[in-house]
C-alpha cells in the first residue's frame, strides 16, 4: 500500500508540473482526475464501512482450554456495490483459529457472502474476547485503508484443562505405603463418616445415611488420622495486566487439577484450600480458607467446576492464607501437602517450618515467568519446583 501511495503522489507532482508549464485542457484534466482519486477513495471506504456486515458464531461460550470448538464467521455484502480488499484480524494472544490463512483478503460481489468454518482453541482459563478483533478495508487502488474494531466481539468463558499425569517427581512411595497402611490398620469403625472413596471396604458403608442422602457414605476406621493429600492454592493476583496474570493463573489451576486428578486415579482423596475474600472488608464473614474436595475419579467433574470458578485478587491474600495454613486441621491431618504459589514471603517460610516440625512432607510449585525460588527456605522432606506459565506439566511435575 505504501508503494502505491508513493507512486500516486509522484503522479500528482508530475501532473502539477505538467499543468504549470504547458497548461491546456488535457494537462488540467489529468491533474484534476488524479486529485479526485483521493476523495473518491475515502468516500468508497466510508460507504463500505457503513454497509459492510459481519457475523461470527462460536459453538459454546463456555470452553475448556485447548479443547477445540466449532467456529465460523460470515462476511456479507447486501448491496449493489462491489466490496474489495477486506481483511480480518483475529484475537491471537489468548486464543487462535485453526488453519486460518494470514493476511487473506476477501472480495464480495453484490449480494455475495464469504463463509469460513474452522475451529477455535483457547489457551488459558479466564474470560476474554475471541474471534475477529478488527476489520481492515482497502480501496481499489490500495492507496488508503480504514480499520475498525468489531462492535460486538465474542466473549468466551474458559475453564482450565485437566492434564493427566502418569507420575510425579515428588517422592510418593512413602505416601502411598502410609496411606495403605493406615487404611488397613483397623477393622473397627468410628462413628465419623465421609463420602465413599474407591478402595473403602464395603462393610464400612453407612447404609442408613446412604439411603437418606442418596450418596455412598463410608464410616471412618479407628486410627485413620491422616488420610489423603491437601493442596494450597495461592490466589494473589500478580499484576493488573491481563496479558501477564491470565497465563499465570491458568497454570496455577492446571497444576491443582493435575495433582488432584493424579491422586484420584490412585483412589487417594484430595482437598484444595484457597483464600477467598467474600467482602471488601477481610474481617467480614465469607473471608478465609475455602475448600474444594475431590474424593475420587468420579468426583473430578464437580471438582473441576469448583476449581475453575476460583477468583484471584490483588489483595495480598497469600500472606494471610500462609498464616492460616499452619493452624488449619486439613493440612495438619494430611499425609502430604502441595503448595501452588506465585510468590514467597516470611509467612510462607514460617508455615513450611511448622510442617517440617510436624513431619508433614511438602511439595511447592512456584508458578511465574521468572520464579525466584531462593526466597523459599526448604527443609528436609520439602521440595520446590519452578514452573513457567508455558511449561508442559507432564514434563515439569
pLDDT band at 183 (very low <50, low <70, confident <90, very high): very low
Domain with CATH 2.60.40.10 in the chain: 52-159
CATH number of the domain located at residue range(s) 173-185+224-396 in this protein: 3.40.50.410
C-alpha 301: how far from its chain's center? Answer: 17
CB atoms within 10 A of CB 218: 23
pLDDT for 11 equals 76
Measured CA to CA, the distance from residue 118 to residue 102 in angstroms comes to: 14
Give the residue from 365, 331, 364 showing the smallest Cα distance to 228. Answer: 331
Q: Does domain 52-159 have CATH number 3.40.50.880?
A: no
CA distances from 268 to 165, 230, 342 (A): 14, 11, 26
pLDDT for 192 equals 55
Measured CA to CA, the distance from residue 330 to residue 269 in angstroms comes to: 12
The pLDDT of residue 281 is above 50: no
pLDDT in tens, 135-147: 898 888 888 888 8
pLDDT in tens, 196-242: 655 566 666 777 777 777 777 776 554 444 478 899 998 888 888 98
pLDDT band at 4 (very low <50, low <70, confident <90, very high): confident
Measured CA to CA, the distance from residue 275 to residue 53 in angstroms comes to: 46
CA distances from 281 to 244, 275, 285, 319, 377 (A): 27, 14, 9, 16, 32
Domain with CATH 3.40.50.410 in the chain: 173-185+224-396
pLDDT for 250 equals 94
pLDDT for 84 equals 87
Measured CA to CA, the distance from residue 372 to residue 7 in angstroms comes to: 55
The residues, ordered by sequence, that sit 6+ positions from 120 with a Cβ below 8 Å of its Cβ are: 58, 63, 68, 69, 70, 71, 95, 96, 97, 98, 130, 131
**pTM of the predicted model, to two decimals?**
0.76
pLDDT for 219 equals 66
Measured CA to CA, the distance from residue 53 to residue 56 in angstroms comes to: 10
Cell reading at 397? 511435575
Least confident of 177-181, 290-294, 316-320: 177-181
Write down the H helix ranges in the chain.
2-21, 24-51, 173-183, 207-213, 242-265, 300-308, 317-325, 329-332, 346-358, 393-396
Average pLDDT for the chain: 81
Amino acid at each position: 500500500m505504501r508503494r502505491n501511495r508513493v507512486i500516486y503522489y509522484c503522479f500528482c507532482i508530475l501532473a502539477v508540473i505538467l499543468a504549470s508549464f504547458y497548461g491546456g485542457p488535457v494537462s488540467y484534466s489529468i491533474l484534476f482526475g488524479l486529485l479526485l482519486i483521493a476523495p473518491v477513495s475515502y468516500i468508497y471506504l466510508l460507504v463500505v464501512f457503513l454497509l459492510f456486515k459481519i457475523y461470527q458464531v462460536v459453538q459454546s461460550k463456555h470452553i475448556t482450554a485447548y479443547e477445540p470448538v466449532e467456529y465460523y464467521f460470515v462476511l456479507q455484502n447486501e448491496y449493489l456495490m462491489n466490496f474489495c480488499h477486506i481483511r480480518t484480524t483475529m484475537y491471537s494472544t489468548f486464543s487462535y483459529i485453526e488453519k486460518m490463512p494470514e493476511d487473506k483478503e476477501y472480495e464480495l460481489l453484490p449480494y455475495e457472502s464469504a463463509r469460513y468454518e474452522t475451529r477455535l482453541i483457547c489457551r488459558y482459563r479466564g474470560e476474554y474476547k475471541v474471534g475477529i478483533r478488527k476489520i481492515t478495508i482497502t480501496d481499489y487502488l490500495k492507496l488508503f485503508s480504514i480499520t475498525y474494531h468489531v462492535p460486538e466481539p465474542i466473549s468466551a468463558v474458559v475453564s482450565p484443562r485437566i492434564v493427566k499425569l502418569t507420575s510425579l517427581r515428588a517422592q510418593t512411595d512413602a505416601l502411598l505405603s502410609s496411606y495403605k497402611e493406615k487404611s488397613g490398620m483397623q477393622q473397627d469403625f468410628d462413628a465419623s463418616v465421609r463420602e465413599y472413596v474407591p478402595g473403602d471396604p464395603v462393610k464400612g458403608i453407612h447404609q442408613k445415611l446412604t439411603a437418606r442422602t442418596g450418596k455412598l457414605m463410608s464410616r471412618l476406621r479407628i486410627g485413620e488420622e491422616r488420610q489423603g493429600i491437601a493442596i494450597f492454592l495461592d490466589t494473589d493476583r500478580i499484576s493488573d495486566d491481563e496479558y501477564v496474570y491470565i497465563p499465570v493463573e491458568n497454570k496455577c489451576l492446571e497444576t491443582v487439577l493435575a495433582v488432584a486428578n493424579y491422586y484420584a486415579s490412585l483412589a487417594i482423596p484430595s482437598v484444595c484450600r484457597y483464600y477467598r475474600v467474600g467482602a471488601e472488608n477481610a474481617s467480614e464473614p465469607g473471608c478465609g480458607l475455602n475448600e474444594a474436595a475431590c474424593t475420587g475419579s468420579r468426583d473430578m467433574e464437580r471438582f473441576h467446576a469448583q476449581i475453575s470458578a476460583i477468583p484471584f485478587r490483588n489483595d495480598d491474600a497469600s500472606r494471610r492464607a500462609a498464616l492460616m495454613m499452619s493452624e488449619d486441621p486439613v493440612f495438619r491431618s494430611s499425609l502430604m501437602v502441595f503448595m501452588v504459589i506465585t510468590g514467597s514471603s516470611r509467612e510462607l517460610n514460617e508455615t513450611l517450618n511448622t510442617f517440617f516440625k510436624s513431619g508433614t512432607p511438602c511439595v511447592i510449585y512456584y508458578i511465574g515467568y521468572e520464579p525466584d525460588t531462593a526466597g523459599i527456605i526448604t527443609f528436609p522432606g520439602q521440595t520446590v519446583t519452578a514452573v513457567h506459565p508455558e511449561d508442559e506439566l507432564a514434563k515439569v511435575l
